[in-house]
Amino acid sequence: MSDLIEIKLNADQTEGTKATVAQWLKKVGDAVVKDEPLIELETDKVMMEVIAPADGILKQILVREGEPAEENIILGTIDESVVSNPVNETNKQVETTPNQGTLDLPRKNPTAGLPDPPSTFISPAVRRLSQQHGINLTHIQGSGKNNRITSRDIHDFLSKPNQSAFVSDVVEHTDAGSEIIPHTQMRKIIAEHMQHSVQTAPHVTSVFDLDLTAIIQHRKTHKQKFADQGVKLTFTAYFVAAAVQAIKHQPKVNSRFHEHGLEVFKHVNLGFGTALGDDGLIVPVIHQAQNMDLIQIASELTRLTEKARINQLTPREIQGGTFTISNHGVSGSLVATPIIINQPQSAILGLGKMEKRVVVEEHNGQDMMVIKPMCYVSLTIDHRALDAYQTNDFLSHFKRTIECWEL
SS3 46: coil
Residue 188: Cβ-neighbour burial (10 angstroms; 0-12, 13-18, 19+): middle
Q: What is the reported pLDDT for 148?
A: 74
The top-scoring range by mean pLDDT among 39-53, 54-68, 135-149, 170-184 is 54-68
Catalytic residue among 30, 55, 383, 393: 383
Q: Cα separation of 205 and 326, whole Å?
A: 13
Given a cut of 60, whether residue 323 has pLDDT beyond it is yes
The whole-angstrom separation of Cα 371 and Cα 369 is 7
Verify whether residue 383 is a known catalytic residue. Answer: yes
Q: Is the pLDDT of residue 235 over 50?
A: yes
For the stretch 205-219, pLDDT in tens is: 999 999 999 999 999
Q: What is the pTM of this model?
A: 0.65
Is residue 181 within 8 A of residue 371, CB to CB? The reply is no
pLDDT for the residue numbered 139:
76
What's the mean pLDDT in 183-202?
Answer: 84
Mean pLDDT, range 358-376, rounded to an integer: 94
| Stretch 54-71: mean pLDDT | 88
**Residues 323 and 268 sit within 8 Å (Cβ to Cβ):** yes
Mean pLDDT of 24-48: 83
Residue 51 has pLDDT above 80, yes or no: yes
pLDDT exceeds cutoff 50 at 314 = yes
More confident: 93 or 12: 12
φ, ψ for residue 77, nearest 5 deg = -135, 155
**Is residue 322 within 8 Å of 240, Cβ to Cβ?**
no
Q: Which domains does the chain have, with CATH numbers?
A: 1-114 (2.40.50.100), 115-169 (4.10.320.10), 186-403 (3.30.559.10)
Least confident of 168-177, 267-276, 347-356: 168-177
314 Cβ contact partners less than 8 Å away, ≥ 6 residues apart: 46, 48
Residue 101: which region, alpha, beta or left (left: phi > 0; alpha: psi -120 to 50)? left
Check if the beta carbon of residue 163 is closer than 8 Å to that of residue 48. Answer: no
Percent of the chain at pLDDT > 70 equals: 80
- Helix (H), strand (E) at residue 396: helix 388-403
Strand partners, 371: 358
The predicted-structure confidence for 75-133, as pLDDT tens digits, reads as follows 999 998 875 444 444 444 433 434 444 434 343 343 344 444 445 556 666 776 776 67
**Mean pLDDT for the chain?**
82
Point out which residues pair with 92 in neighbouring strands: 106
All residues at 6 or more sequence positions from 238 whose CB lies less than 8 Å from its CB, including other chains: 215, 218, 219, 294, 402, 405
Do 323 and 354 touch, CB atoms closer than 8 A? no
pLDDT given at position 278: 73
